[in-house]
Amino acid sequence: MSDRVLLTGISGFLGGHVALQLLNAGYTVRGSVRNLDKADKVRATLAKAGADVSGLEFVALDLLSDAGWTDAVKDCRYLQHTASPFILETPKDPDELIRPAVEGTRRAITAALAGKVERIVLTSSIAAIQYGHADYSRPLTEADWTNADSPTTGPYPKSKTLAERAAWALMDAAGRHDDLAVINPAGIFGPLLDEDPGTSSLLVRRLLDGKLPAVPKLAMSVIDVRDVAALQVDAMTNPAAAGQRCIASEGTYWMSDMGKMLKPAFPDRRVPTAELPNWVVRLVALFDRDVRDNMHEMGIQKRVDGHLGSVRLGRPLIPAAEASVATGNSLVQFGLV
């Protein structure tokens, strides 16, 4: 069997970086897209980033359809399942996020098990760790799980939690617990490979577009996409990753801190560094559903222990400031701000 990797979600922000690192490491990559019309663009993007795309092939897969999964895993030694819906706006129907996340994960894992794939690497999220807890006085670890039934757990963290739970359940039922490795990234920043800003970079975009005079007291954990991709690739062969979760987070920061990271690199832009009074945010929440749905996050810093990622890579993680500025530079380069 060749060192071929089925990579779902190759056209996404993280998926593209995982493909880049896999190709540069000499793997054959079979990338999944919903429509093969995207293949040429993905190939050109990766070639422009310096990858040898002679080892790149494509397959059409849909998270909500059984079609193609059996053939997709043929002759694949590894599965990298990065595909999952991620949106910032709260959907009216939570199943818009939950169904594709959970069903897509089940399809990917089931096909990989049937195809006797050697190891499966799943991209989960710290969202599957940090919601629905009564106590945030300590950093959360890989041993913690989001309470999917908590009224404060929104559709996105619920989708990631249920999807990851489903993955472990399938692996355990097959007696192959140690053949799954999970990466739980924080908010992913870093350089864009093309003009598609994805979702994570929208926060940096909002901080740079000059429309925010100040920011709410909200906190976010941050990781550079290059570190997440490196952890994903490492997890395919690292014995320490077998049957384990791994938080990928450089640190947790207030939005005002992120503004302060960006401001020196973009002196000609009005980057907010001050915090909005809570009463102003509450007033906005009366008219904005997304703000209203996140009011319970105000003033809470949900820290996670990200030291394992650094241990796995054998080096310090890329600083959040560097990751944020790299995102900002890409947004400017592609004319997105």
Is 298 exposed, middle or buried, given 0-12, 13-18 or 19+ CB atoms closer than 10 A?
Answer: middle
Which parts of 96-241 are beta strand (E)?
119-123, 180-185, 187-189, 219-224
Q: Is residue 43 part of a domain?
A: yes
Of 171, 139, 159, 120, give the one whose Cα is nearest residue 247.
Answer: 139
Number of domain units in the chain: 1
On whether residue 124 sits in a domain, the answer given is yes
Note whether residue 82 is domain-resident: yes
Prediction pTM value: 0.94
Query: Can you give the pLDDT at residue 289?
Result: 60
Task: Give per-residue pLDDT as tens, 115-165.
Answer: 999 999 999 999 999 999 999 999 999 999 999 999 989 999 999 999 999
pLDDT digits (tens, 9 = 90+) for 300-336: 899 999 999 999 999 999 999 999 999 999 999 999 9
Within-domain flag for 257: yes
Question: What CATH number is attached to the domain comprising 148?
Answer: 3.40.50.720
Q: Distance (Å, rounded) from C-alpha 155 to C-alpha 91?
A: 8
Q: From edge to edge, which strands make up the β-sheet containing 28-33? A: 56-60, 28-33, 4-8, 78-81, 119-123, 180-185, 245-248
* 337 falls within a domain: no
pLDDT at 1: 40
Tokens of 6: 């089925």
63 located within any domain: yes
- The answer to whether residue 336 sits within a structural domain is no
Residues (pLDDT < 70) of the chain are: 1-2, 85-91, 281, 283-295
Q: Which amino acid is at 138?
A: R
Instruction: Give the Cα separation of 115 and 122 in Å (integer).
Output: 16
pLDDT for the residue 96: 81
- Check: CB of residue 153 under 8 Å from CB of residue 127: no
- Domain of 226, in residue numbers: 4-331
Cβ neighbourhood burial of 83 (10 Å; 0-12, 13-18, 19+): buried
68 found inside a domain: yes
What per-residue confidence (pLDDT) applies to 295? 67
Q: Could you tell me how far CA 165 lies from the centroid of its own chain?
A: 17
Q: For residues 319 and 92, give the distance between their C-alpha atoms in angstroms, rounded to a whole number.
A: 36
- If phi > 0 it is left, if psi is from -120 to 50 it is alpha, else beta; for residue 132 that is left
